[in-house]
Amino acid sequence: MIKEVSTSVKVRFSDCDPIGHLNNVKYLEYMLNAREDHVEQFYGFTYEQYTKKTGCTWIAIQNEIAYLKEVRYNARVVISSKTIEIGDRVSKVEILMKSEDESIVHAVLWITVIYFNLKTRRSEVHPAETRKLFEKFHVELEQKDFQSRTEYLRKLNKHAGK
């Protein structure tokens, strides 16, 4: 089973700064939109459907992003996502934006989310069936903190550039 899912997107001129690089805020938009598509396509539901059915959703409580290599307009990029941590209430997702051939990592985003009940306005423990679904896509990383992961990806990029 594929645990890291991905889609390809074209970077639009209107999303770039005056020197033709993807605007920093737009990295987040592209990556979050891709994750939403991944959940629908590979996990089998939309966030809206899940919230209507359960009354719960995931709320981002922390984002960590590193911009490793600029992305220029009209570039095609591959955006992948995977679950890297699953807890009772808190989970973490990694989203990578890579070159079309996937040899260069342009950006890495770690999103920490909490499972949240919209009616009680409190966090809850993930239901067993939801946790089981996300565990199917869980990937264990060697690097356990964001800084180590970023350094590792920078080294991979250097080797790819040689």
CATH value at residue 77? 3.10.129.10
Q: How many CA atoms lie within 13 A of 105 on its CB side?
A: 23
- Per-residue pLDDT for the chain (162 aa), expressed as one digit of tens each? 678 899 999 999 999 999 999 999 999 999 999 999 999 999 899 999 999 999 999 999 999 999 999 999 999 999 999 999 999 999 999 999 999 999 999 999 999 999 999 999 999 999 999 999 889 889 999 999 999 999 999 999 999 875
Q: Considering the entire predicted model, what is its pTM? A: 0.94
- Report the sign of the C-alpha dihedral through residues 121, 127, 133, 134, in that order: positive
Domain hosting residue 50, numbered range: 5-160
Residue 65 identity: I
Position 162 scores a pLDDT of 59
- Structurally, the chain folds into a number of domains equal to 1
> Cα(105)–Cα(96) distance, rounded to whole angstroms?
7
Q: How many CA atoms lie within 13 A of 32 on its CB side?
A: 14
Position 3 scores a pLDDT of 85
Position 2 scores a pLDDT of 77
Phi-psi region of 121 (alpha: psi -120 to 50; beta: other; left: phi over 0): left
